[in-house]
Amino acid sequence: MDFTKEKIPPVREDRLGACNAFGGTCHALSRQAKTGCLNNIRRSFTQTQGCQLNLSLIILSTIRDTVIIVHGPIGCGGGNIPMANGIKTFQKLRDPAAKGVVWLNTNLDETDLIKGGEEKLEEAILHADREFRPSAIIVINSCAPGIIGDDIDGLAEKLKDRVTAEIVPVHCEGFKTKIMATAYDSLYHGILRNLIDRADNPVPAGEAKGNSRKVNLLNLSSMSRIDEIELERLLGVLGLEARILPCYAHPDDFGDIRDAALNVSVCATHDDYLTGHLREKYGIPVVTSDIPVGIAATGKWLMNIARFFGLEKEAGQLIESETGKLEKALEPYRKLFKGKRAYVAGGEIRIFATAELLADLGFEIVGLHGFHYDRFMDDLLESRPDKEKMIINIGSGQPFEQSNILEKLKPDLFVGHLGINGWAGKHGIPVFAIFGPGASYMGYKGAFEISRRLARILRNPMFSRNIGENARLPYARQWYEKSAFAYLEDGDPTSQPSKGAEYGQQLPA
C-alpha cells in the first residue's frame, strides 16, 4: 500500500512486527515471532536507548547542500554536536566542495509549548533559506511539537513559494515508537513525498528504465567510502554503474532515482520502505540480500544482482577469482583465530553476517545481541544450524543485560555497536567495532581488512585488560547472580517473567 499519501508513516511495531525486548535462543525468538506476541514483551528496568530523531538526524546530516532544522526544545538533536566536522570530512570524499553540516534548533521554550511553535519554525526556515541558500531544508519534528500539534507540513506548504529551497518535513516524534529503525521509514517518507514523488518530476521514459545498467546502490551512514568503492568496483566488473545514495548524496540525486534498472540494498531493514515504494509505484525491482560482509555474503549479494541482469556466469567467475586470492591471504589469520570465543552485538542484519564471517575465520560464536527484531531477521534466525542453542538478546543498547551475559560467558572478543563497546571494554574484553564510517568492512577487501584488524586487536589487548581490572561497573553484585533476562516481562502483569529468563539462567555461571 502507498503510505506516502499520509503525512506520517506507520511505526515499525505495526508495519513489521518489530520488537526490542527478548532474551532466549534464536529458535525461541523465531517461534515466538510467529505467534505475533513479541511486542508484548517489556522490561521493568530500562536504560536509555535512542529515538528515531537521533538516528534520522545522523543520516539526514550526511546529505549535502541542506540545512536541517530540528523543531523542538534546545536539547533535541544535540547528539549531532560531535558529528559535524566528521561528516564534513566524509562529505568531501564525495564532493570536495561540500559545505558540511548546518543544523538549527528552534529552541522551543515554555511559552512556545502553550502558544505553539510554528512561528518560530517559520522564522528558522526563512533564516535558513536566506543565510545558507541550500537546495533543501529538512525540518525534523521532535516529541514536544508533535504533542502540541504544530503542523510542519502545513507550514512547509505555506512557505514553499517564499523560499528557494525544497522543504522536506520529516516526522520523528521519539515517543511514537520503541524501534529506532523507524527512523529509516520516517526519513525515506519525507524524501519520497518531497524529493521523489513530485508532479514536477516526471517518471523517465520507458527505454531508459529496465534496459539500463544503472543501479541505485543504497548506502548506510555507518558505511565508509572505502566500502562504497569496494562495492562499486565489484559491480563495475559486471558492467554495472552505481548511483550511491541516500547518505552523502545531493538532494537532486533523489529526483533522478527512478531512472535506474534496479535498486540494490545492502540492508533490508534500512531500505525496505524506500525500495518497496519504488517497486510498487514505479515498478523498479529490488535486490536485497544480507549485507555483503564476509565471503559468503558478498558472493550471495553479487550473484543475486547478477541474476537480475543475466550475468550469472560473469559473477561466478568474479567470485571465484576474488575468493581464490582472498583465501590465500586469510590463511595465516585462520590459525590465529581458531577456537577463540566471540560475542556479536549490533544491528539485526549485521550481526548475522558478521557472525558468519567470524565463524568462517575460526571463531566460536557464543552469543548474539540485536538492537531490534523485525521480520527481516526470520530467515537469519532459522538458517543458523545452532539455532536451538544460540543465545540471542534483543534490546536497543541495554548494557545491563550485556554485562550480565559477558560476566557469565567471558568471551575472548566482543564485536559490538557504538555506544556499548566501552561497556564491554570495562569487562576487560578486547573489542572490535562492528561498523565504522572510516574503515573497511564490506566485500572481499572488507573480509581481509576485518581479519587484519582482529589480529591486531587480539595481539595486544592490554588496554582493555588494564581498564577492566581497575574500572567499576555500575551494577550491584546480586545482578550478576540473576538471569540476564530477569527483567523481561510479558505485557500481561499477571504472567510470569518471559520465557527468555529460563534460557538466561542456563548461561554458564
Contacts of another protein in 146-185 (CB under 8 A): 147-148, 174-178, 180
- Count the site residues for another protein by CB under 8 A: 75
- Closest distance of CB 65 from another protein, Å: 15
Among residues 108, 139, 235, 261, which is the contact residue for another protein, using CB under 8 A? 108
Q: Is 83 in the site for another protein (CB under 8 A)?
A: yes
The correct pick among 143, 238, 303, 458 for binding another protein (CB under 8 A) is: 143
**What's the Cα-to-Cα distance from 11 to each of 19, 51, 185, 209, 486, rounded to whole Å?**
11, 12, 8, 32, 28
Distance of alpha carbon 361 from alpha carbon 357, whole angstroms: 6
DSSP calls for 428-443: T--EEES--TTS--SH
**Least distance to another protein from the beta carbon of 454, Å?**
24
Stretch 440-459 residues interacting with another protein (CB under 8 A): none
Contact (CB, 8 A) for 224 and 244: no
Task: Retrieve residue 415's grid coordinates.
Answer: 564485536
Question: Any idea which residue has 586469510 for its cell?
Answer: 330
Q: Which of 16, 29, 144, 501 binds another protein (CB under 8 A)?
A: 144
CA gap 94, 74 in Å, rounded: 31
CB of residue 479 vs another protein: minimum separation in angstroms?
5
Looking at residue 370, the DSSP 8-state letter turns out to be E
100/468 with CB nearer another protein: 100
Nearer to another protein, 30 or 182 (CB): 182
- Sequence-distant (6+) residues with CB within 8 A of 288 are 265, 267, 268, 271, 272, 275
Nearer to another protein, 110 or 200 (CB): 110
Residues 399-428 that bind another protein (CB under 8 A): 399-400, 419-420, 422-423
When asked if residue 82 is in the footprint of another protein (CB under 8 A), the reply is yes
Rounded distance, CA 10 to CA 494, Å? Answer: 30
Stretch that binds another protein, among 123-131, 160-168, 218-226, 246-254 (CB under 8 A): 123-131
What is d(CA 263, CA 278) in angstroms, rounded to the nearest whole number?
9
In 3-state terms, what secondary structure has residue 456?
helix
* CB of 492 closer than 8 Å to CB of 42: no
Under rule CB under 8 A, residue 248 binds another protein: no
Task: Give the CA diameter of the chain.
Answer: 68
Site for another protein in 381-400 (CB under 8 A): 396-400
Q: Does residue number 123 form part of the binding site for another protein (CB under 8 A)?
A: yes
124 near another protein, rule: CB under 8 A:
yes
We find the least distance from the C-beta atom of residue 98 to another protein, in angstroms, to be 12
Residue closer to another protein (CB basis): 181 or 278: 181
Closest alpha carbon to 406 in 427, 432, 421, 430: 427
Q: Is residue 488 involved in binding another protein (CB under 8 A)? A: no
User: What part of residues 462-481 is at the interface with another protein (CB under 8 A)?
Assistant: 472, 474-479
- CA 400 to each of CA 10, 62, 221, 484: distance values in angstroms, whole numbers, following the listed order: 30, 32, 27, 8
In angstroms, give the least distance from the CB of 26 to another protein.
Answer: 24
Site for another protein in 193-212 (CB under 8 A): none
| Shortest Cβ 458–another protein spacing (Å) | 23
List 39, 105, 141, 354, residue binding another protein (CB under 8 A): 105
Q: Is 134 exposed, middle or buried (0-12, 13-18, 19+ CB in 10 A)?
A: buried
Cβ proximity to another protein: between 44 and 383 the closer is 44
CA distance 49 to 79: 12
Q: Compute the least distance from the CB of residue 23 to another protein, in Å.
A: 15
Q: Where are the alpha helices (DSSP H) in 200-347?
A: 225-237, 251-255, 268-282, 295-309, 312-337
Residue 457 vs 467, nearer CB to another protein = 467
Least distance from C-beta 99 to another protein, angstroms?
9
Site string for another protein, 38-77 (x = CB under 8 A): ------xxxxxxxxxxx--------------x--xxxxxx
d(CA 295, CA 287): 18
Within 10 Å of residue 441's Cβ, how many Cβ atoms?
A: 28
Interface with another protein, residue 100, by CB under 8 A: yes
Region of 293 please: left (phi>0), alpha (psi -120 to 50) or beta: beta
User: Which CB, 5 or 477, lies closer to another protein?
Assistant: 477
Min dist CB 368 to another protein, Å, is 18
Cell of 466: 588494564
